[in-house]
A and B are shown apart, each in its own frame.
Chain A
Amino acid sequence: MVLKAKKWLSGFLAATMIIVLLAACGKGNSNNDSSPSASPAASPSGSASAAPSDSSAPAKLEGNLVVWTYFDQVKILAESFMAKNPGVKVDVQIFPGDQYETKLMTALQTGQNAPDIVDLDRGYIGKFLESPYLADLSAMGGDDVVKDHIPYVKEYGKSADGKLRAISDNSSPGGFWYVRESAKKWLGTDDPDQISAMVDSWDKIVDLGKKVAKDSGGKVHLIQSAGGLFDIMAYNTQPWVQDGKLVIDPKWKETYETQLKIRNEGVDAKLGFMSSGWGSALNNGDVVLTSMPSWATFMIDNKDGKAKGKFGVAKTPEGWFIGGRYEGIYEKSKNKELAFEFLKYVASPEWQLENLQKTGNMPSNALVFDQNQDSFKMDMLGDQLILKAYADQMKSLPGVKADKYNEGVLSKWGKVAGEGINNNTPYDKVVQAFKKEVKNTYPEIKVE
C-alpha cells in the first residue's frame, strides 16, 4: 500500500511535470500568436481612416482599441461605440478597484502592454495629469470637443499648463436621495423642493435629525453618517496645499463641530459610505436622507423595476460632487487618432444621453442638461425632473484644477477626523494628529 502510494506520487509528479511544461509552452506560444491583436500597436489597420464616404455620415473608423478601467459600466460605453462604428473593436479590461492604480503605474512606467485609453479616477488623476504619460488632447483639438462641458468637470482634466489631458462623460453631482414613503412619514412631505428647503443649512439638519430620532424612538436616522460631510465640504473649501504649504480652511473647524453634533445627537446612522448597512438603509428608508453622487444609483435595488418612482432627490446645503471617471490617451499609444475618436464619443451629448438613460449617470456636457432638463425623467425618481434639480448647482460650481496632493491630503483628514468623531476628540487634537500624518506621508509639504 505504502509502496503503491509512493509509486503513484512519483508517477504523478513526473506526469504533471510533463503536462505542465508542454501546456506552459503551448500557452506561451498561443500568447505570442494572439499578442498582435491584443496590442493594437502592431496591427496595420490600427489607425483611423478619416475618409468619409458621404458628407453627412460620420467617418468610417477601423482598428482596435484597448481600454483599461476599474468601472464595470465602461463595457456599455464600448458596446455603444462599437455599434456606431462596426469597424472598431474596443477591448475593455477591467481591474479591481484598489489595485487598479498600482497596475496602471507599473504598466505605464514600462510602456509594455500598456493600453491606448486609460481610465483615471478623480482621487488620483492629479498625479497622472502632470506625468509624461497622458497625451496632450488640446493639440488634437480636444478643447473644442469639451467646449460645452460643465466648467468644474472640464477644468479637472487639465494639467497645470492648461492643456487638456483627460475627458469625462459624467459630472457626478451629489444630492440627498430619499425613499419617498419614508420622507412622507418622517418629514411630512416627499416634495424635493420642500425637503431641500428643510435641509438647506447644517443647523437645520441637526434640529430636524433630532426630531426624527425622537419620533422614531432612535430607530430611524436623518442621514447616513457624519462622515458624509467630508465629501460635501471638500469642494466648498480651499485646496489643502498652497505654495507647498499645508492650509487648513477654517471651514473645516465649523464642519468638524457640526459633525460632532450630528454624531452626539443621534442624527446619523453611523453607516459608512457604500457599506452593506448603508446600501440596505438607502433601499429601505431606515435612513431618510442619503447623500450620494449620481453614479451610486447602482446601489439601488431595482430588480423587476421595484424601485420605480420610489425615490426623490433633494439638494444638500452646499453643492458638491464626488468621484468621477476621466479618460485619457496614453502618450505612447500608436493609435492616438482612433483613441481620440473614442474620446470624442465619450464627450458627445449623444453618448451621454444614452448613458443617462441606461445607467443614470449625470452628463458632463451642459448641452445634455439644456436639451433634456424639462423632459428627462428617471424611472426610479418618478416625476422629478432630475436634470433640472442638478443643473444650476452644477453649472455654478467653480472650476478647480486637480493637484497632486489634494485628494491624498483630504483622505488623511477624513481618516483622522473620522476617528475624532467616533471618539469625541477636541478639534485641536485632531488637527495635531492630522498634521503629523501629512508631514509623514508628504515630507516635502511645509506643515506649521
Chain B
Amino acid sequence: MKSKVNKSAYGYLFISPFFIAYALFGLVPILYTLYLSLTKWDGFSDPVYVGLANYERLVHDSFFWQTISNTLIIWIMSIVPQLILALLLALILHEKFVKGKHFFRAVYYFPNLISTVTLGVIFSLMFDWQTGSINKLLINIGLIQDPINWFNSPWWTRAIIASITMWQYFGFNLIVFVAGLQSISSEVFEAAEVDGATKTQMVFKITLPLLRPVFVFTFITSVIGGLQLFEGPLVIGNGGDGPGNSARTMILYLYETSFKAFDYSYGAAIAYGVFIVIMIFTAITARAYRLKD
C-alpha cells in the first residue's frame, strides 16, 4: 500500500542535505582525483596530461591483480566464520532460557569499539616471532619446539588479518541478526510448535528464510566494507605487504602508491580501478540474491 501524497517538493527538501554535503565534500575531491588519474604527477612539479596511460599501466599491472585476489581471499576468510558465528550466537541468544542476554550482547560488541590500528598493534605484538605471547604460550604448553614465524607465511598472515576483522565485526552482525530475529513474529514459531516441528526444522524452515533480508543487508555492507580492507594489513605483516605481497590489499596498494611512493596520478588510477572492482562484486552479490527469488 503506497498512499504517498504528492509532496515531491518536500521530498527533495528532505533528501537535499545528503546531496549538497556530498557534492561539496565528496564529489569535488573525487573529480579532482579523476583529473589526476589522467596526468603524470609526482607532487612536486605541475601535473602533465597523459590521457589513459595510467589506466593502461593498471590493466597490465600484475601487482594490482594480485591485490584483488588477496583482498577476496582475506575477505572470504573473515566473512564466512564471522557470519556463522554471529548467526549461531544470535540463535542461542534468541532462546528464552538464556540469562544475561544483555550482558553477552554488550560484551560481543566491545571489539567493535576499538580502532583497527590499535587492534593491529595488539595482534602484531601477540604474534611476534621471537617475543610474542602466542609463541610463548605454545612453547610453554609444549605444542611447539621453536617459535613460529607467523608473518613469514602468506596464509598465517592472511588468517591473522582475517581474524582481526572477524573478531572486530561479528558483534556488529550479531546485533543486526538479533534485531532481525526479534522482528519475526513469535506467533509463527508457536504455530510451528503446535504442528510438532522440531527445533532444527524451525531454524531451517522458518528462521533462516525469514532472515533473508537481514542477510542481504549484512552481506552487501560487508562486501563493500570488506573489499576496502586497509588498516589491518597496514599494521600487521612486515611493512604491510606480507610475504610475497600476499597480504597487500587493493586499498593498501592505493595507499602505498599515493603516499609512500608519491605516485599520486597512478594512485588515482588505482582508486578508480578499486571502485570498479567493488561495484562489480556488489552487483554480483545483489544479483545472486535476486536470482534466488
The residues of A with any CB-CB pair to B shorter than 8 Å are 101-102, 105, 109, 127, 130-133, 269-272, 275-277, 280, 408, 411, 415, 418-419, 422-423, 433, 440-443
Contacts and interface: CB of A to CB of B under 8 A. Distances in A.
B113 interface: no
B44 A132 contact: yes
Nearest to B242: A419
A442 B261 CA distance: 9
Contacts of A271: 130-131
Contacts of A272: 238
A109 B61 CA distance: 28
Contacts of B131: 271, 275-277, 280
B241 A415 contact: yes
B153 to A, nearest CB: 10
Given A127-B42, A132-B44, A269-B130, 7 more contacts: A105-B43, A127-B44, A270-B129, A271-B131, A419-B243, A422-B152, A440-B61
B262 interface: yes
A280 B128 CA distance: 14
Nearest to B131: A277
Interface of B: 42-45, 57, 61-63, 125, 128-131, 149, 152, 238-239, 241, 243-244, 257, 259, 261-263
A131 B61 contact: no
Contacts of A132: 44-45
Given A130-B44, A269-B130, A275-B131, A419 B152 contact: yes
A422 to B, nearest CB: 5
A398 to B, nearest CB: 28
B44 A422 contact: no
Interface residue SS majority, chain A: helix
Q: Would you list the 7 A-B pairs with minimal beta carbon distance, nearest first?
A: A277-B131, A131-B44, A102-B259, A422-B152, A277-B130, A440-B63, A105-B43
A135 to B, nearest CB: 15
Interface residue SS majority, chain B: loop
A277 B128 CA distance: 9
A442 B125 CA distance: 33
Contacts of A442: 261
A133 B44 CA distance: 8
Given A269-B130, A271-B130, A440-B61, A415 B239 contact: yes
Nearest to B61: A440
Contacts of B42: 127
Nearest to A269: B130
Contacts of A109: 43
Contact of A276 (B128, B152, B244): B128
A422 B130 contact: no
Contacts of A408: 261
A213 to B, nearest CB: 14
Contacts of B149: 270, 422
Interface core residue of B44, B62, B243, B257 (most chain A CB under 10 Å): B44
Nearest to A124: B262
Contacts of B57: 443
A441 B63 CA distance: 10
B234 to A, nearest CB: 9
A160 B152 CA distance: 40
A153 B213 CA distance: 65
